[in-house]
Structure 1
Amino acid sequence: MVKRLQIFFAVDTLEYLHRGGRINGASRYFGTALDIKPILFFNSEGKIDALERMRTKKKALQRLIALGEQQANGRPVHVGIAHANVPQAAQGFRGEVEKRLNCKEIFTVELSPVIGVHVGPGTIGIALYSEY
């Protein structure tokens, strides 16, 4: 199942990545000025890595759904939506996911503090896996 599980996050603020030492001050400054929203994922070793950067939160969330579509490849998937203190945004995101993916089941949860401390409030993530 681990090979079929994918987890992606769109980070809303660069402040917490900077505080945690994942990016330097210049990256934080310019990234914030340009409204950069990094998309992170869990790699095969279970560590968080950067996948790509989007220019706005809306584009970042659309990219998360597109990544989900790529991974699902038309198959039914089990989906989890996680958010860091943005329940309304998570519900809107969930609605878009339900429209575009063949969700066998879907649920929404608050992001765990272990992850939340590194990515900060406003983060929304998607986890999905297929049965085959």
Structure 2
Amino acid sequence: MASSSTAARELQKELEGKANDLSKIQKDISKNHQVRKKYTIQLGENELVLKELDLLNEDANVYKLIGPVLVKQDLAEANANVRKRIEYISAELKRLDSTLQDMEEKQNSKKEAIYKLQQRIQSLQAGKAKA
């Protein structure tokens, strides 16, 4: 009888540990979503800038804001910079998607492990109730 209560306590501790792990994974997923949202907004802004740059004539003046100062920039250079930024942001979004997929798989496996532990604890408690 004493061994079953000890086993139940050990299972309860294990369950708490897995629940803490699950909570940490869920926080990481939330952070990933926030960062992904930020990059998605930046991607949209940069695509909009690229469309605007494509509308300009080659002799148009383009200025870049550096701190509090507007600095004249070559149209081709501005175009290249925006394209590089879009490329970088797209790569970051792909990386974040991959990381998110891994975290969701870990989350699902933790949930499954927690569910199995809960079933074991319930079966132990049901066994005690019968005894």
TM over 0.5: no
Structure in which a larger fraction of residues adopt helix: 2
Answer 1 or 2: which has greater strand percent: 1
Higher Cα Rg, which structure? 2
> What TM-score, normalized to structure 2?
0.28
More RCO (CA 8 Å, sep 6+): 2
Normalising by structure 1, we get a TM-score of 0.28
